[in-house]
């Protein structure tokens, strides 16, 4: 996913950080946080590497054998920034069954449809004190995690950062350092000391977090954003800037966003921005923020993996149906993505 610009917002983290400081005193050093990243794909590696470089104790667990073995063999990962400035970062990685420490924070970055099976393999190291953070793309990840972790210990949110996996043990961070933005929110309960602790570590890593209070509003705002650019760029095999260059791109975005908001309004979610503001953000991010980026769904399609369309556009369709509404634009996109998935087998013949 690309950058997601929320105009005029107040960074709650900064407010809290100021409260931690006393007049005339330097900031106190915070204890290294023990973190395990579940899923060493594009976003998992980006979060983990940035948080490790910010001074935290980070370990990766992954189930993709070629990735685990490549990183183990090399002792780390190769990292690019916008395809340039390659560097090597030492990291530790294992399969879930081989990790037996107790992290303070587990960060989940697997596809929504793989969440349950992955959490089953990881539940032995999730203690009663462990918090689990998910910034997965669609709607469902946090709900699946709630089968294993109390909702009060789940931090959901949105990752407004673009990253591309170039192959096992190889990742490209898209966008300049410090250019992304992260929203985090407790699935249940008001913001507490731990979520602000997580936010402080993210701020050190230049991930620019904002602590939110409304779980559903936060997650659904990003989901609707993804329902436009992720899906259309995937179907047309184009970059975000190429989508934005189309003369009717803004009108297409408006139709999809307005249709989604009808279902959301019926449910009563309080979104972070209005429908028109979200249209403008889709266009801005596509034109200015990440014009050269292929969204994550496109990456899945091009590498012959299942997409998350059922958890993005499909979630909108299900919400509309729940309230006796129709979502024909999103319903058609779901079918078109699945048709394109099916069509890949003909390319192999």
The CA distance from 255 to 1, in Å, is 20
- Residues 206 and 230 grouped into a single domain: no
Banded pLDDT at 17 (limits 50, 70, 90) = very low
> What CATH code is carried by the domain that includes residue 277?
1.10.1040.10
Strand 209-211 and strand 181-186: the pairing is parallel
The CA distance from 91 to 232, in Å, is 35
Compute the mean pLDDT over every residue in the chain, rounded to the nearest whole number: 88
Using an 8 Å Cβ cutoff, are 5 and 281 in contact? Answer: yes
Using an 8 Å Cβ cutoff, are 136 and 108 in contact? Answer: yes
- Residues 99 and 51 grouped into a single domain: yes
Range name among 25-34, 74-83, 139-148, 275-284 with the lowest pLDDT average = 25-34
Query: What is the pLDDT, as a whole number, of residue 1?
Result: 42
Q: What is the pLDDT of residues 281-308, one digit of tens each?
A: 999 889 987 788 888 888 788 888 888 8
CA nearest to 68, candidates 96, 87, 46 = 96
- Residues 48 and 171 grouped into a single domain: yes
Domain boundary pick from 195, 213, 231: 213
Query: What is the pLDDT, as a whole number, of residue 291?
Result: 86
- Residues 266 and 204 grouped into a single domain: no
Is residue 6 in some structural domain? no
- Residues 40 and 117 grouped into a single domain: yes
| pTM, to two decimals | 0.77
Dihedral angle of Cα 305, 309, 311, 314, to the nearest 10 degrees: -150
**In the block, which residue shows the tokens 């929110």?**
185
- Residues 250 and 124 grouped into a single domain: no
Cα first-last separation, the chain: 32
Tally the domains of the chain: 2
Which residues 6+ apart lie within 8 Å of 201 measured at CB?
30, 33, 51, 54, 56
- Residues 114 and 257 grouped into a single domain: no
Which of the listed ranges 20-24, 214-218, 263-267 does the model predict with the highest average pLDDT? Answer: 263-267
Domain boundary pick from 152, 183, 213: 213
> What number is the average pLDDT over the span 332-347?
92
Domain boundary pick from 154, 188, 213: 213
- Residues 185 and 264 grouped into a single domain: no
Which residue range is the domain that position 270 belongs to? 218-340
> What CATH code is carried by the domain that includes residue 124?
3.40.50.720
Q: Over pLDDT 70: what percentage of the chain?
A: 90
Q: What is the pLDDT of residues 205-221, one digit of tens each?
A: 999 999 999 998 888 98
Query: What is the pLDDT, as a whole number, of residue 159?
Result: 76
Query: What is the pLDDT, as a whole number, of residue 349?
Result: 56
């Amino acid at each position: 996913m690309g950058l997601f610009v929320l105009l005029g917002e107040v960074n709650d983290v900064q407010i809290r950080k100021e409260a931690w400081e006393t007049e005339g005193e330097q900031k106190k050093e915070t204890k290294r946080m023990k973190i395990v990243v579940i899923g060493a794909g594009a976003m998992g590696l980006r979060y983990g590497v940035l948080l490790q470089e910010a001074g935290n104790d980070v370990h990766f667990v992954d189930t993709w054998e070629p990735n685990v073995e490549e990183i183990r063999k090399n002792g780390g990962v190769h990292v690019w920034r916008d395809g340039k400035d390659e560097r090597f970062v030492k990291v530790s990685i294992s399969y879930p069954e081989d990790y037996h420490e107790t992290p303070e924070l587990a960060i989940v970055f697997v596809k929504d449809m793989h969440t349950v099976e992955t959490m089953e393999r990881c539940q032995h190291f999730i203690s009663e004190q462990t918090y689990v953070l998910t910034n997965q793309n669609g709607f469902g990840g946090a709900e699946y995690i709630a089968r294993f972790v109390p909702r009060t210990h789940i931090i959901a949110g949105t990752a407004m950062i673009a990253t591309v996996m170039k192959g096992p043990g190889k990742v490209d961070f898209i966008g300049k350092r410090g250019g992304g933005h992260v929203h985090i929110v407790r699935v249940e309960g008001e913001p507490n000391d731990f979520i602000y602790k997580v936010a402080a570590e993210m701020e050190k890593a230049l991930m620019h977090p904002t602590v939110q209070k409304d779980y559903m509003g936060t997650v659904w705002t990003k989901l609707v954003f993804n329902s436009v650019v992720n899906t259309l760029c995937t179907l047309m095999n184009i970059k975000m800037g190429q989508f934005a260059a189309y003369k009717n791109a803004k009108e297409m975005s408006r139709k999809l966003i307005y249709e989604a908001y009808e279902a959301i309004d019926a449910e009563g979610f309080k979104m972070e921005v209005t429908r028109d503001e979200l249209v403008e953000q889709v266009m801005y991010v596509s034109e200015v923020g990440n014009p050269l980026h292929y969204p994550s769904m496109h990456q899945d399609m091009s590498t012959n993996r299942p997409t998350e369309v059922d958890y993005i556009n499909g979630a909108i369709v299900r919400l509309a149906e729940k309230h006796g509404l129709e979502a024909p634009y999103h319903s058609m996109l779901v079918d078109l993505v699945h048709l394109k998935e099916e069509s890949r087998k003909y390319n192999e013949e």
